[in-house]
Amino acid sequence: MKTLIIGLASIILVGLITGMFVYENRDEVKLPQYQIDTEEPENNPNATTQTEPQQEDLWPVDGEEISYSLQNEELHITYDKGKSWVTVPVEKDKLFAGEYNGNKQSLIDTSYILTEKRAAFLYAEGANWESQTVGIVYSEDQGKTWEETIVTDSFPALRYRKVDFLNDQFAYVILSGGRTMSQEGTQPYLSNDGGKTWTQTNTPETTRLVSDGAFINEKTGFLSYGTINPEQPDLYITEDAGESWEMASFQMPKKYEAVFVTAEMPVKEEDHLAVLVNQGPNGDYLGGKVKGKFISKDNGKTWEFSEEVQPSEEQ
């Protein structure tokens, strides 16, 4: 028995000695080494750099020779169908400030002018929704230089907006905003010095939602109201540059009562004015697209029916 115990002890001792020998002579497995880079990114070729968002190639929004693009979150204009571009110095979001629900892929129709002689863009800015500054950024040399002018420094939540220049000196801006249910305020502004300064005019005594507005010369202007369930044309005229307004009168044939209900903007035709009156948002007469043409021979105060106008006949 004693011999057996001594034998087992010897085996265990030899095993321990052998194990210690193997451990001491094993190949050390090296763990991966991680280096903390402390150099500045521009001096360290191994550093991960944050890349800028990829810029899209610009394309004219409508393919026209004189056009614009809102790609890359900026407004650019072109005068050669996209071969070269000029960046307009205004933030894109300011062009859509106020009551706007579109996709910002194209400008609001009447909020800008882009011609060979003039580029002008209405914008609004300010943290206070109820009192924003409305201005125009414009260029008269195809974007080589830009000017900025303030139309009003306090206007509530823009909805409708329109700017136009009738000549080098006379221009108008029409704004509406502060809508509550189906009521809002509408305000025309006039400029007689090429858009450098603007003067607020008086307004018609109505708070309906404006559908369109325009001046046809320095004295005569129109505002058309009624966008929700209109029942008849609601057109106001001024002949003294907005000092006073009166409602125009339409001699509507019985056949067209409650059919032609929303007046568009009058235009000069030979020795008289003409206006198209459309069927409003709910019209269904002959498909809803036919309009009534009315003629005025007293500068827009009264209007007589002339003819139906098919969509394909509009100029």
What does the DSSP 8-state code read for residue 216?
Answer: S
Arithmetic mean of pLDDT over the chain: 88
Looking at residue 36, what is its pLDDT?
41
Confidence of residue 9 (pLDDT cuts 50, 70, 90): low
User: pLDDT tens digits, residue range 103-141?
Assistant: 999 999 999 999 999 999 999 999 998 899 999 999 999
- Reading the block at residue 38, the tokens are 């402390």
Q: Across the strands, what pairs with 267?
A: 274
Above 80 in pLDDT, residue 37? no
Radius of gyration of the chain (CA): 36
Task: Tell me the mean pLDDT in the region 205-219.
Answer: 96
Contact 206, 259 (CB under 8 A): no
Rounded CA separation 196/194 (Å)? 6
| Cβ neighbours for 115, distance < 8 A, ≥ 6 positions apart | 66
Rounded CA separation 131/127 (Å)? 8
Residue 106 has phi, psi (to 5 degrees) of -145, 155
Rounded CA separation 162/197 (Å)? 16
Looking at residue 52, what is its pLDDT?
66
Task: Tell me the mean pLDDT in the region 136-165.
Answer: 97
Looking at residue 56, what is its pLDDT?
87
Task: Tell me the mean pLDDT in the region 189-206.
Answer: 97
Looking at residue 75, what is its pLDDT?
98
Quickly count: other Cβ atoms within 10 Å of residue 131's Cβ. 14
Task: Tell me the mean pLDDT in the region 23-32.
Answer: 46
Looking at residue 98, what is its pLDDT?
93
The candidate with the shortest Cα–Cα distance to 116, out of 80, 164, 74, is: 80
Task: Tell me the mean pLDDT in the region 204-217.
Answer: 96
The candidate with the shortest Cα–Cα distance to 89, out of 117, 113, 119, is: 119
